[in-house]
Structure 1
Amino acid sequence: MMKIVLTGGGTAGHVTPNIALLPLLRAEGWEINYIGSKAGIEKELIEAENIAYYGISSGKLRRYLSFENLKDPFKVIKGLGDAYKILKEIDPNIVFSKGGYVTVPVVMAAKMLKIPVVIHESDMTPGLANKIASKGAKKICVNFPETLKYVGKKGVLTGTPIRKELFQGNRAKGKSICEFTIGKPTLLVMGGSLGSVKVNSVLREALDQLLVTYNVVHICGKTNLDETLKEKKGYTQFEYVGMELSHIFALTDIMLSRAGANSLAEIVALKIPNVLIPLSKQASRGDQILNADSMVKRGYSEAIQEEELDVNILINTINKVYNNKDFYRNSMISANKLSGTEKVLKEIKEHCKI
């Protein structure tokens, strides 16, 4: 039996592509194990899939000054020891790493044990964790063609693995889940798995005006529910949506989203007209800005920079996209129709230790 260890964590975007691979791996009879952080979002998501989960110590790779930076090298060393013991015991044929700081000790340990590693980079430019991990990788799968120039000869354009069930949603079920009774177009708002204070705040400020035209589904992130809006007709809010997301996507006519690469891959695959609000450079390394620029240039999206976000700009941009929704859909229909899931699995199988 072939064995694989999946790793990735910190945000849902570093986990969901791994989850997308599970049905194909199971169908082919692989033994699947997962290494993540001890308390990250990945632990809950993976354990819900009935996969053996191993939590390790991990330090965060910060780009800013913090006292915690003094502690993190020791956490990474501890994580390296943890990962080494786990990988030696499992003895997998390959490790697939989706990114996030928890993957660094896993990839380092795999290299020490001569276990081949394939990594995946969703964003336009590699993150710090993947830059470090790439030194121990056999292959680097990428989502954007522009990324190939950053990763060298190891790079291969695969796209991003997308969960098959996202294509199997039912619009009527989505309407029932959201308890919508009035037949309006549906605006889905997603601020990423951790939510977004700025997006949530401006959206709620614009809510009364938006509800004149749209039903609004708001996935606002953990602890970000606003109980004062609970009874507002045509507005439904969730902290996080799991298995029911496919039905909500099926209900969606237009979407407001951050510009994380995995979310963008799903948007294009599902052909949802959209407005993007990328994380600013003050809150990130600027990768979402590059991702959003690529989507706009291809005619898939409109974008609002976070620093410019206000009620009027938000409403006007949403209305512009909805009123021209066929243009954005047709642009995405012309995109590559091949799934990244099969392409990534092909790379995994080609680089396994036999």
Structure 2
Amino acid sequence: MRILAAAGGTAGHVNPMLATADQLIARGHEVIALGTAVGLEADLVPAAGLELVTIDKVPLPRRPSLDLLRLPTRLARTVGTVRTLIRDREIDAVLGFGGYVSAPAYLAARQADIPVIIQEQNARPGIANRLGARWAKGVSLTFASTPLAAKHGMTRVTGLPLRAEISGLAADRTDEARKRFRRERAAERFGLDPDDMIIVLTGGSSGAQQLNRAFAGAADVLTSRAQVLHVTGRGKEADAAGAAGDRYRVLDYVREMEEVYAMADLVVTRAGAGMVAELAALAIPAVVVPLAIGNGEQYLNAKSAIDSGGFLHIANDAFTPDAVREQVVPLLDRQELDRRSAILRAAGVSDGAGAVADLVEGVL
């Protein structure tokens, strides 16, 4: 079967697509990725050895604006482009991961009368996937609480498809010798001591100024208890420049986040679905500071792990240097971190890539 996999904009959409594509290709299917020339997919998809076909970005405005007035014409043009692609490449099904790339793909698939399968990463579904679910033959959910279902097809809770690098690390972390080897290798790469505690701050590839400044503002107390790897986001290194030192490493971006995870005792981060799923699968305790804008899905993504005690939640507006000193620093205790890690491990979060591939094959 030849499958068109639509994902673009952020790593949260693209990485699950790549993980699922690996599974489908291993099973003998052909996968063509659909994205844009400006999102992260422009780098990530070719790097993974997958063909990328690009279309124009057609955002779906949440509020009245000029973009909303232009939407019908722009959307119709892009849907036509995808419809031509489906015809010329003899596509058998569209597999969408949400975001602005998926909506034109779903509409084109409907016009071409081929199956649509959806993978929803977030606890609160986005506009594109809510649209596509109306005629989807299959819907894959990361979280059982997500209010989305295929109106005329199968709906399954699969978990999030994880990158092969993450599933490989998860397997290594079940063996103490391999876990130690991965930790030592990663710590050496970043100039840190594997025998000392390591806390990681990351706001994602674009960074998070609120997190950056609050963390750097508490650098003195943090470094008295642990080593810090602070990933600021591209162009945001200045947010933490005053904190940098032997025990406080500052980087703008890390492509191989699995190397960071391999040495992390505690991660402080936003609560995107991908980050939440990866940390849960790796049983790494976290402090989550959900993004305060959007439709509120970030808090919901992490809610199960927060409620169980695996993650600690701090609201964005409350994340200050004082909050770091008073709420984050007390977590830097080996017994407390082991307790939280055990909670996450007991939840049994698994890699959803195989389950999504099963769903695709079940529909086809």
Match of residue 160 from structure 1: 160
Return the alpha-carbon distance in structure 2 between the equivalents of residues 66 and 207 of structure 1.
Answer: 43
Match of residue 252 from structure 1: 264
Match of residue 224 from structure 1: 236
Would the aligned equivalents of 2:269 and 2:286 in 1 still touch at CA under 8 Å?
yes
Alignment of 1:290 with 2:300, yes or no, is yes
Superposed structure 1 runs of 4+ greater than 4 Å apart:
none
Describe the shift of the 1:235–1:65 C-alpha distance in structure 2 as closer, same or farther (beyond 3 A).
farther
Alignment of 1:173 with 2:216, yes or no, is no
Alignment of 1:335 with 2:334, yes or no, is no
The equivalences for 1:80-229 within 5 A come to 80-147=79-146, 149-151=147-149, 154-169=154-169, 170-181=182-193, 183-226=195-238, 228-229=241-242
Match of residue 262 from structure 1: 274
The equivalences for 1:46-61 within 5 A come to 46-61=45-60
Describe the shift of the 1:82–1:297 C-alpha distance in structure 2 as closer, same or farther (beyond 3 A).
same
How many residues are treated as equivalent by the alignment?
347
Would the aligned equivalents of 1:221 and 1:240 in 2 still touch at CA under 8 Å?
yes
Q: What is the TM-score normalised by the length of structure 2?
A: 0.89
Return the alpha-carbon distance in structure 1 between the equivalents of residues 166 and 48 of structure 2.
Answer: 16
Return the alpha-carbon distance in structure 2 between the equivalents of residues 259 and 138 of structure 1.
Answer: 29
Does 332-341 or 255-264 show the bigger shift? Answer: 332-341
Which of residues 312, 316, 321 in structure 2 aligns to 1:311? Answer: 321
Shift, 1:342, TM fit = 1.3
Aligned to 1:73, the other structure's residue is in SS state helix
Describe the shift of the 1:337–1:58 C-alpha distance in structure 2 as closer, same or farther (beyond 3 A).
closer
Does 227-236 or 25-34 show the bigger shift? Answer: 227-236
Shift, 1:266, TM fit = 0.5
Match of residue 179 from structure 2: none
Does 165-174 or 298-307 show the bigger shift? Answer: 165-174
Does 227-236 or 314-323 show the bigger shift? Answer: 227-236
Would the aligned equivalents of 1:57 and 1:82 in 2 still touch at CA under 8 Å?
no
Shift, 1:231, TM fit = 5.4
Aligned to 2:361, the other structure's residue is in SS state helix
Shift, 1:185, TM fit = 0.9
AA at the equivalent of 1:238:
L
Which structure 2 segments of 5+ residues have no match?
A: 170-181
Aligned to 1:195, the other structure's residue is in SS state coil
Which structure 1 segments of 5+ residues have no match?
A: none
Return the alpha-carbon distance in structure 1 between the equivalents of residues 74 and 232 of structure 2.
Answer: 31
AA at the equivalent of 1:297:
D
Alignment of 1:234 with 2:232, yes or no, is no
Aligned to 1:216, the other structure's residue is in SS state strand
Return the alpha-carbon distance in structure 1 between the equivalents of residues 280 and 314 of structure 2.
Answer: 18
The equivalences for 1:4-19 within 5 A come to 4-19=3-18
RMSD of equivalent CA atoms: 2.0
Would the aligned equivalents of 1:184 and 1:213 in 2 still touch at CA under 8 Å?
no
Return the alpha-carbon distance in structure 2 between the equivalents of residues 230 and 299 of structure 1.
Answer: 30
Aligned to 1:188, the other structure's residue is in SS state strand
AA at the equivalent of 2:142:
N
Aligned to 2:61, the other structure's residue is in SS state coil
Aligned to 1:249, the other structure's residue is in SS state helix
Aligned to 2:4, the other structure's residue is in SS state strand
Would the aligned equivalents of 1:302 and 1:321 in 2 still touch at CA under 8 Å?
no
Would the aligned equivalents of 1:160 and 1:339 in 2 still touch at CA under 8 Å?
yes
Shift, 1:304, TM fit = 0.5
Return the alpha-carbon distance in structure 2 between the equivalents of residues 339 and 181 of structure 1.
Answer: 30
Q: What is the TM-score normalised by the length of structure 1?
A: 0.91
Return the alpha-carbon distance in structure 2 between the equivalents of residues 114 and 152 of structure 1.
Answer: 16
Shift, 1:225, TM fit = 2.1
Match of residue 44 from structure 2: 45
Describe the shift of the 1:351–1:172 C-alpha distance in structure 2 as closer, same or farther (beyond 3 A).
same
Return the alpha-carbon distance in structure 1 between the equivalents of residues 80 and 96 of structure 2.
Answer: 18
